[in-house]
A = this chain, B = another copy of it.
């Protein structure tokens, strides 16, 4: 597997599945304490940071847009209309399903593909730099922020569910 494909498609898919697991843990906490799981969605770590709902939407967009731009294709639109837990789970799954449609061959020229970003008018960045300097840090920033919101609000999470499965073999 090419490094770009692994980092822009395979690994984000795993992280999105890990994120679903965080949410499942949180839903169990809500149920065990008899509160609405959707209450988690409005929590934020600081008044000037995104709440959990927006952290998850942004995680989804970062995974989707990084892969699509590197493959040189138009990503499907997600208009950020989610307000409930189930809608967010559907959003996450739709990005996992989208990543599943991308073939490794579409990333053959990704490393040197020039990418223009809507918030950096008049500039361009090579695909490899875009992934390493922006797409990847941004993905982990938002998924870690979502994790931190949940963990600091009583959801039992640790490094193992964050990292998820690893491709290890017997030594």
Partner-B contacts on A (CB < 8 A): 3-4, 6-7, 11, 14-15, 45-46, 48-49, 111, 114, 116, 120, 122-126, 128-129, 132-134, 136-138, 140-141, 144-145, 147-148, 151-152, 159, 162-164, 166-171
Q: Select A145's contact among B125, B132, B134, B144, beta carbons within 8 Å.
A: B144
A116-B171, A133-B166, A144-B148 given; 12 more Cβ-contact pairs under 8 Å: A3-B111, A3-B132, A6-B128, A45-B45, A46-B152, A123-B169, A124-B168, A125-B166, A126-B167, A129-B166, A129-B167, A136-B136
Cβ–Cβ < 8 Å partners of A123 in chain B: 168-171
- Rounded to whole Å, the gap between the CB of A63 and the closest CB of chain B is 13
- Rounded to whole Å, the gap between the CB of A84 and the closest CB of chain B is 25
| Oligomeric state, in copies | 2
Cβ–Cβ < 8 Å partners of A111 in chain B: 3
Which residue of chain B is the closest to A3 with respect to CB atoms?
Answer: B3
Q: Are B6 and A124 in contact, with the CB atoms below 8 A?
A: no
In the complex the two chains form, what is the Cα distance from A138 to B14 in whole Å? 14
Q: Select A152's contact among B45, B147, B167, B169, beta carbons within 8 Å.
A: B45
Cβ–Cβ < 8 Å partners of A152 in chain B: 45-46, 49
Cβ–Cβ < 8 Å partners of A132 in chain B: 3, 6-7, 11
Q: Select A170's contact among B122, B128, B133, B163, beta carbons within 8 Å.
A: B122
In the complex the two chains form, what is the Cα distance from A94 to B71 in whole Å? 38
Which residue of chain B is the closest to A142 with respect to CB atoms?
Answer: B144
- Which 3 A/B pairs are nearest by Cβ-Cβ distance? A140-B140, A144-B144, A124-B171
